[in-house]
Chains A and B, each alone.
Chain A
Amino acid sequence: MEKKENMEIAWINNPEDILGIGIKNLLNYRYEEPKFHNAVEKFNQVVVFDFEDLYPISVHFQKPIIEILPFNGKSHNLKLKISLNTLISIMRGDYSIVGAFVRGKIKSRQWWKFLSIIQLLRILIPAMHRAKERAEEYGK
């Protein structure tokens, strides 16, 4: 567990599964940003990322902890179907997140929760940009 002083969201748990480790690392790109913690606090929901090529994982954006766990079927606010390659294609800029929805690369049966989806994107997109910059450095 990591503690971050003077921030509302103080913890991200230490997942031990490979997707959980990845999602934690992705969120950690923004861990120093107060904006990130504000966005998480406002969001305050449980999201399931159903990686259809791997396995579903839930991210509990719930103050004062972000908890990343393999999905155990329990209640959640939002569920998105996605694949690892879609996530990477979005990072790489092959298409946008909106484009991914339009192409059916990300699916959700909860369209009426579009505000939640937008809030979630506000958390994720900047983290993905940072990860993209890192990936491009690796590629040099």
Chain B
Amino acid sequence: MENKNSIKKKLIKIFGADSVSDKQHDLYLHSYDATENEAHLPDFICLVENSKQLVQVIKLANEQKIPLVPYITGNNIGGLTIPVKGGIILDFSKKMNKVIHVDEDQMYAILEPGVTFGQLDAYLKKHHPNLRYCYPFAPPYSGVVGNAILSGMNNLSATHGSMGDWINGLEVVLHDGSIVKIGSCFTKEEENWDKWYSRYPMPDLMGLFVNWQGMTGLVTKCAVQLWLRKKIQTFIIAMTYGGDATAELIREFGRLELIDDLSAVSLEVAKMSLGFPTPKKFDFEPDYAILIPISAHSQKHFKIKMELLNEALKIINNRVKRKIILTDFNYLSAILGEGVRCFADLPNVVIPLVEYSGLTWIGSYAPINKLKPLMEEGEKIFKKYQVPAFIYMKSMKGSHYAIWRPIIRFKKHAEEKKVHEICKELLEMGLHYGIIPYKTPIWITEYLKEKIIDPNWVKFFTDVKKFMDPNNIFNPGRWGI
């Protein structure tokens, strides 16, 4: 590798002097995230504006064997943009953040990587008020494309699954500097925004980039499916006692395809949002609060949905030890306090997630028939370490699977060791019940490779990575490669 000054000059030639930094304060800001994962300084920060710059920087990175780490807003909870091998942070958030096109008839949006959920929401409300995307349990400044290509969940997940399922097309810069379009946009035509309407039926090359954490190429455009913004959008909430009732409600309500989403959180989490950072949980209180966004085309449609949900609830209530309470969230939040609205009015800053300097989790896809032991065993681990339980669960795509996500808030530079112990215990317990972690930090992928994953899969995965990135310049270190 040439010396840093020489590389800096080349980067300035590519990106411009005002878009390249090696100042310590800039490097520091891009060296860590909220998690307990170890920080590491990059060598340069570059603000990316277009694909041509990426072609040039990839050429440079290959020549000099410099890592390239894609970065949007850095608020993922997996250490995904920590440059563990140093190198160049490619920051897409400042200059490559346009909503390129919205196709109203075919209901999709083509986005640059830096577009945030807040930005897309505002854009659609202004220009296409009859359409909506979705929102994760994350702040409005989180990146849409990053979430989509990492299969994030959202407030329409109970019906539509993860954001990864809704990608129509990608434009990616590969290791050799070629720019490739994937999906129905794969034609020779340049900038024909009409063609990004489907992911299939050609061989699904999208899988070479989705969930790879930026290890196989740099995504520069992403077409995401949009959905009709229905006339009625409201919320109901369930409160449950015990693992049986909670798991059954999540599973049964999810499979009815009547609701947009279903997010269960430990009751403690609701209290956190109401001004109790380390809440007590009393035995007589419900264990979980389950927020259920529901939308409908008309009052009549909404009424029918509610009738069906109430019928299903009656059946569930006959089976569980203690009856589930289902009520109107707008009214309940007016009683409880403004704070709980942070879970509903997305995109939003979810108060309990930002109260501490540190935040980490075991984010996982889970078999929906194992939610009960997952929540009960998870609660025991939280109790053992005297940390308020913060378990978040969802039904996904008609209850074909679930999300199980125990979350830990902590003080940075003070509690990392303890937090890591808790995470490891939660991970081992979760794996016992068949979870698969997502948006995984390196220590988890190494653990999975060692203990869980079939070596044939690991070899295949490693071979694909070598093929896609022979010089290992794309986010190296991820998955231990």
Mark interface residues in B325-361 (1 if CB within 8 Å of A CB, else 0).
Answer: 1111011111111000100000000000000000000
CB–CB A17/B286 < 8 A: no
**Known contacts being A25-B336, A132-B334, A135-B333, is A18 close to B271, with CB within 8 Å?**
yes
Interface size class of B (residues with CB under 8 A): 20 to 34
Chain A proximity of B291: nearest CB distance (Å): 13
Q: Is A26 an interface residue (CB 8 A)?
A: yes
Mark interface residues in A13-55 (1 if CB within 8 Å of B CB, else 0).
Answer: 0001111011001100000000000000000000000000111
**A83–B327 alpha-carbon span in the complex (Å):** 11
CB–CB B267/A18 < 8 A: yes
Q: Is A120 an interface residue (CB 8 A)?
A: no
Q: Is A12 an interface residue (CB 8 A)?
A: no
**Known contacts being A22-B335, A25-B336, A131-B334, is A84 close to B327, with CB within 8 Å?**
yes
Q: Is A119 an interface residue (CB 8 A)?
A: no
Contacts of B323 in A (CB 8 A): 53
Closest residue to A21 on the B side, CB-wise?
B274
Give the residue of B284, B334, B337 whose beta carbon is less than 8 angstroms from that of A21: B337
Chain A proximity of B317: nearest CB distance (Å): 10
Q: Is B234 an interface residue (CB 8 A)?
A: yes
For chain A, the count of residues having a C-beta within 8 Å of the partner chain is: 26
Q: Is A134 an interface residue (CB 8 A)?
A: yes
Q: Is A98 an interface residue (CB 8 A)?
A: no
Give the residue of B234, B270, B327, B331 whose beta carbon is less than 8 angstroms from that of A18: B270
Closest residue to B332 on the A side, CB-wise?
A88
A89-140 with Cβ < 8 A to chain B? 91-92, 131-132, 134-136, 138-139
Give the residue of B282, B331, B333, B337 whose beta carbon is less than 8 angstroms from that of A17: B282
Contacts of A64 in B (CB 8 A): none
CB–CB A139/B271 < 8 A: no
Contacts of B282 in A (CB 8 A): 16-17, 70
**Known contacts being A18-B286, A53-B323, A85-B325, is A135 close to B280, with CB within 8 Å?**
no
CB–CB A138/B335 < 8 A: no
Interface residues of A (CB under 8 A from B): 16-19, 21-22, 25-26, 53-55, 70, 83-85, 87-88, 91-92, 131-132, 134-136, 138-139
Interface residues of B (CB under 8 A from A): 234, 239, 267, 270-271, 274, 276, 279-280, 282, 284-286, 323, 325-328, 330-337, 341
| New contact pairs (10) apart from A19-B285, A22-B332, CB-CB < 8 Å | A16-B276, A17-B282, A17-B284, A21-B274, A22-B337, A70-B282, A84-B332, A92-B328, A138-B330, A138-B334
